[in-house]
Structures are given as structure tokens and as C-alpha cells.
Amino acid sequence: MKQAVQVTILGQQYTIKSAMDPAEVCRVAEFVNEKIAEVVAASRAVDTLNTAVLALLNVGEAYLRLRDATQAREESLNVQLHDLVARLEKACPDSPPHEN
């Protein structure tokens, strides 16, 4: 069930209706405020929209890097797993074949 949670972002209050735990909604809002504060500290952007867009670009970049790293790690683990299965099948030829 969705709950209404009050958060403040960029000095404005928002009511967020979400099925997430209210503490998690507040955690996300705090994260957003931290990213906005980083942009404000690092740039001369004073316009609220520009500040929010720059913060979103920073978050987007971090997200995509993390997603790419996760996908690369997953692919590496899959290769290692297939190699291990092949070794096991070679070492135990009388075992039933492995299904993917």
C-alpha cells in the first residue's frame, strides 16, 4: 500500500506517495539533496532547474558506470562458471550432462 511521505528537496516540500518504506523515501531524498549540494559547491549554477539537471547528470553517470561494471562482472562470472562446469564434466564423464 502506498504511503504519503513529506520530504524537502531544494528547499521545497514534496509529498511522495510510494510503496517504499518511508525511511527509504527519506534516504533517497537525502541522497538527492547531497548530490544537489555537490553541484552547488562545485559550480556557479544558481538556477534551480540547472542545478537539478546537473545533479541528475552526475547521478546518471554514476549509475551507468555502476551498471556497466556490474554487467561486466556478471559476464566474467558466467564465463568462469561455464569453465568450471566444463572442467567438472570432463573430470566426471559418467555424470549426467549439465543443462543450461
pLDDT exceeds 90 at position 97:
no
Q: Is residue 96 a part of any domain in this protein?
A: no
Q: Is residue 35 a part of any domain in this protein?
A: yes
Extract the C-alpha cell encoding 16: 511522495
What are the pLDDT digits (tens) for 2-25?
Answer: 999 999 998 899 999 999 999 999
| CA-based radius of gyration for the chain | 23
Domain that holds residue 73: 3-91
pTM of the model: 0.72
d(CA 5, CA 75): 39
Q: Is residue 100 a part of any domain in this protein?
A: no
What are the pLDDT digits (tens) for 74-93?
Answer: 999 999 999 999 999 999 98
Q: Is residue 98 a part of any domain in this protein?
A: no
d(CA 77, CA 63): 21
Extract the C-alpha cell encoding 21: 518504506
Task: Count the domains in the chain.
Answer: 1
What are the pLDDT digits (tens) for 28-74?
Answer: 999 999 999 999 899 876 788 889 999 999 999 999 999 999 999 99
pLDDT computed for residue 44 by the predictor: 76
Q: Is residue 86 a part of any domain in this protein?
A: yes
Q: Is residue 97 a part of any domain in this protein?
A: no
First vs last C-alpha separation in the chain? 38
Indicate the burial class of 92 (C-beta count within 10 angstroms; 0-12, 13-18, 19 or more): exposed
Q: Is residue 99 a part of any domain in this protein?
A: no
